Chain A
Amino acid sequence: MMSHSHITRTCSLWCADWPVIALRRRDGALRGVPVVVRERVGSREVVRAASAEARAEGVTRGMRRREAEARCPGVAVVDADLALEARAFEVVARAVETVTPRVVLERPGVCAFPTRGPSRYFGGDHGLARHVRDTVADVLGNDDDADSVRVAIADGAFAARLAARQASAREPLVVASGGGASFLASFPVRALGDDALADLLARLGLRTLGDFAALSTDAVLARFGAEGRRLHDLARGLDDAPPVLVEPPADLVEMVELDPPAARVDTAAFAAKGLADRLLARLAERGLACTRVVIEAETEHGERLSRCWRHDGALTPAALAERVRWQLDGWLHAHASVGIDDGRTDVRERQDAAAFADAGLDTTTGALTSLRLVPDEVVPADGRQLGFWGGDQLGAERADRALARVQGMVGYEGVVTAVVQGGRAPAEQVRWVPWGEPREPLQPLVVDGEVPSWPGAVPPPSPSRVFEPPLPAQFLDAGGNPVVVSGRGEQSAPPASLRCDALPARGGPVVAWAGPWAHDLRWWDPSTRRRRALWQVVVANGHDNPHGAAHVACLVSVEGGAAGVEALYD
């Protein structure tokens, strides 16, 4: 089991409405007017971020673009530009880097770092938080932009992230060490970032993280699995770090030399894409996934650049490639303006560079000559591998959803899985359990360590088609009389032919047989007593068959004088 001996005290920095700020920093005309940044989700255009002016008119995140325009006429609607957001955030990242080298970017607008060293240097958490806020505000320059900066310090990245949302622009929020759980208790469960689980918890009457945290760990693990357990830990204010940290294998660093040096983002990003794919493929081979990666680059002037990106859950190749691209964009655009102007850099790039120069930050001074991806934090990739119950967790969830839908269409009992149990006839040897119920046999194969015997059970191989009730048939001896069984379990005469409408050519002569297995079921109870005899029978099926003599094997039963095909070996 994991231990929670230490929870990294973390400082989180969040720039509210970063997409708007990034756009305004590029285009001054957007300042002072209501702005909405739109993005496409499926076929809908929704609001990704809105400026304070637009929010005052009732525009909210996730609202449809059309509705936003209706609520706030004259709003400037701008397309989201993730690359721009990331590039602009590089200024902030570098400013934070003056405080600590261990900055981890989560997404444009949010970054975090462990406070242990810096906090002591700046005279405590409050001092550090204020210093970070002031540094970043200085770099951003503009008052409006500076007002968006929120800084908070708490135990663990998750608590710090939520605390940053509550911090005010002027005063950073510091959650006392050890007070994480009580701080988190009042947040809604939706803050966990898992909407499906949040919906479920709300329906169970658990509306806040405090309610969720109050559940016992064992109960959460049993009901919601490993992922639920992780979120439960978060709600209890325990560390956000992946549960099982594995030391990244040293030889998993992926590296590429860029020759000629890449001065343009697309050239470098193309190389990075292959690098990202290779890294994740090699990790996957070892059953690992990556949650934090360090992107390193070297310029033609020998500078070394490096930046750490963190991701909730395992990085996919696409997500990793995107982050590398953002980072390269940040580095190279800083260079493009300050370094050589080869005529290809556009106005936008120069403005970005001007922002760096204004901020008094170092900028990259050359094209990139090499690129390295270092997995910084790897976890066992349980998402893809067989889980404890032998099932891929993701596959189980998908299947569960599909079966729930089908159960809605055909009824609860209509969707089943088989459980093998003890019994004599094939129909009795299996219990069909409705999906969602515990898979337990009614007549276990093993009782208290002993295997109960089922006298007269039909031995394997088992028939692949079982008919309940048996298909009506005629089971005749050589004289054309029905085969019957005496009270002592002996047949009246050897079977010679089997006629059944369901068989090919409506049956035929019996070429081989064994039996009868006489079953006297529930003989102690006259009202439910059944007597039945079973034969294994092979019927020749010579008709319409180019492969010579063919066989149909079936299980024939005689009960109360009536014969039937109990099962077919299809």
Chain B
Amino acid sequence: MAVVATPGGRRTGALPRRDADARAQLAEVAGRARPAVAAGDRLIPVPGPLGDALANGGLRRGAVYTVDGARGAGATSVVLSFAAAVTNAGEWAAIVDPYGTVGGRAAAEAGVVLERFAVVRHAPAPRWSTIVAALLDGFAFVAADVPRHCRLGDARRLAAKARERSAAFVAIGPWPAEAAARVHACASRWSGLGVGEGLLSARDVHVEVEGRGAPIRTRLAG
């Protein structure tokens, strides 16, 4: 934060008025520094524009969310931001990653607390729903790549399980059942990398959130 020096030595005319910018910064820091979410809170707040796009600004415990998007569009980053919000709130998160492709370093850079972020790297398709159900028993947040032929019955059972155990469940990919909100990562735009020079440095992810009511379009800096 910028420190403003007042000229005139001891004159204590008035402290520098905090402008809107400083306030916003302060609010952001306060949001990040919040120690924990009380276990009774139904909502796990998600910081930043992604949270703003969700109803009530966060993930509701016991609700199902879906995240999808073409490869490279940013769906995984969205899931990691959720996991970061959850683990920073002191909760435990798990992800079912049958092909073992989630990047651990990217998770750390997204702000995920790795000690509380369990990754299931082998998940045979026939046991997929059993594994997810077992995770929902113990975790406040479970994300899972949905296998290609997920049956509606299985999906509904998992949704019921999530509701019963008050766990937020994020289905990555096509989800046959209902969801509190569907997050579509539409496209990413990268900057910083030129032709033969520079490095990937920043990107905008276009995210559409389709929940109750009209879809909200938002851009995330990433």
Contacts and interface: CB of A to CB of B under 8 A. Distances in A.
Interface of A: 284, 384-386, 389-392, 394-396, 398-403, 405-406, 409-411, 413-420, 426, 429-430, 432, 435, 439, 459-468, 494, 502-504, 511-514, 536, 538-539, 541, 545-554, 567-570
A201 to B, nearest CB: 23
B194 A410 contact: no
Interface string B33-46: 00110110000000
B91 A392 contact: yes
B139 A399 contact: yes
Nearest to A550: B187
B121 A547 contact: no
Contacts of B108: 418, 420, 462
A550 B189 contact: yes
Contacts of A284: 38
Contacts of A503: 71-72
A413 B110 CA distance: 25
Given A413-B122, A536-B193, 12 more contacts: A396-B92, A398-B139, A399-B116, A406-B120, A416-B121, A420-B104, A462-B103, A462-B108, A462-B109, A503-B71, A511-B195, A570-B75
Q: Which 5 pairs of residues, A with B, have the shortest CB-CB distance?
A: A402-B138, A418-B104, A552-B72, A430-B104, A550-B187
A179 to B, nearest CB: 42
Contacts of A439: 114-115
A570 B72 contact: yes
B137 interface: yes
B7 interface: no
A462 B90 contact: no
Nearest to A411: B122
Nearest to B217: A547
A533 to B, nearest CB: 14
B123 interface: yes
Main secondary structure of the interface of B (DSSP, over half): mixed
A466 B103 contact: yes
B116 A538 contact: no
Contacts of A402: 94, 134-135, 137-139
Contacts of A467: 101
Contact of A461 (B102, B114, B200): B200
A398 B73 CA distance: 34
Nearest to A549: B189
A513 B105 CA distance: 21
A386 B35 contact: yes
A167 to B, nearest CB: 41
Contacts of B35: 385-386
Interface in B97-152: 100-110, 113-124, 127, 130-131, 134-135, 137-140
Contact of A545 (B91, B101, B107, B187): B187
B113 to A, nearest CB: 7
Given A284-B38, A466-B101, A551-B190, A514 B196 contact: yes
Contacts of B102: 464-466
Nearest to B74: A570
Contact of B118 (A416, A502, A539): A416
A50 B77 CA distance: 60
Contacts of B190: 512, 538, 551, 553, 569
Interface residues of B, number: 66
Contact of A464 (B77, B90, B118): B77
B188 A465 contact: no
B181 to A, nearest CB: 20
A439 B114 CA distance: 10
Contact of B90 (A390, A415, A514, A569): A390
Contact of A384 (B38, B91, B187, B201): B38
Contacts of A539: 72
Nearest to A395: B92
A468 B91 CA distance: 30
Given A464-B80, A545-B186, A547-B186, A567 B103 contact: yes
Contact of B199 (A384, A462, A464, A514): A514
Contacts of A547: 186-187, 206
A512 B104 contact: no
B72 A390 contact: no
B203 A553 contact: yes
B106 A463 contact: yes
Nearest to B193: A512
A359 B101 CA distance: 75
Contacts of A569: 72, 188, 190, 200, 203
A539 B123 CA distance: 31
B92 to A, nearest CB: 4
Given A410-B122, A420-B105, A547-B187, A512 B139 contact: no
Nearest to A467: B101
B76 interface: yes
B213 interface: no
A238 B76 CA distance: 52
Nearest to B136: A402
B220 interface: no
B26 interface: no
A332 B49 CA distance: 57
Contacts of B139: 398-399, 402
B100 A391 contact: no
B198 interface: yes
Contacts of A464: 76-77, 80, 102-103, 106-107, 110
A22 to B, nearest CB: 35
Nearest to B77: A464
Contacts of A411: 122
B27 interface: no
A388 to B, nearest CB: 12
A435 B200 contact: no
B199 A414 contact: no
Contact of A553 (B115, B130, B200): B200
